[in-house]
Amino acid sequence: MADQWMIRGPEFVNCNCAWGCPCQFGALSTYGHCEAVSGGIIEEGNFNGTRLDGLTWAMLLQWPGEIRDGNGAQQAIIDERADPEQREAIRKILHGEATDPGATMFFVYNSTMASVHPTLYAPIDISIDVDGRTATLKIDGVVEATGSPIVSEFTGQQVEREIHFGTGFEFRSAEVGSGSAKAHGPIALEFTNTNALFGELHLTQAGVVR
């Protein structure tokens, strides 16, 4: 029987593009290459009957050019609290191994990779407030990232912007904010005040639940 799974919970993504990220609108990236940090909290989840509730995850992603051109590198980090069955379940989800072709961002990203670094299992300190457009992600020795609202240069007030996705493989909708991240190790990243998205994931092996 094919793998059956579901995860639901908030996700924070910080990439190197300008606020809003042209990629979200089918355009080329801001600087001609893509780098990103993402992390999520599985509030509710299961994989072939194995419960995943309460576990966390993160991904480091890097491409020398546009995502569509491939040659990328990725590394998954999984909550060290997960038991062996839970670790393998989340690893398969994050690497798109248990997903209909093209159905989730995990499958799409993995299909563009030239290097898939060994999965890490570590304590993940993560908090995400989707409506508030704030997030923190810290994995000692691996990555630190923060997200916050964009503040208007004209009014000094928070800029409230949301993207709705009628189709796609990640969010149904996402709040837009600003993020900064620094990652170490085989995938080294650093960007400041760049695009951040905050959204609620609800995915299965068949894609986004709408």
pTM score, whole prediction: 0.95
Cα-based distances in Å from 21 to 2, 32, 49, 98: 35, 12, 36, 28
CA 82 – CA 25 distance, rounded (Å): 36
Where do we find the tokens 């089918």? 26
Q: What is the DSSP letter of 106?
A: H
CA 62 – CA 71 distance, rounded (Å): 9
Residue pLDDT tens, the chain, 210 long: 489 999 999 999 999 999 999 999 999 999 999 999 999 999 999 999 999 999 999 999 999 999 999 999 999 999 999 999 999 999 999 999 999 999 999 999 999 999 999 999 999 999 999 999 999 999 999 999 999 999 999 999 999 999 999 999 999 999 999 999 999 989 999 999 999 999 999 999 999 999
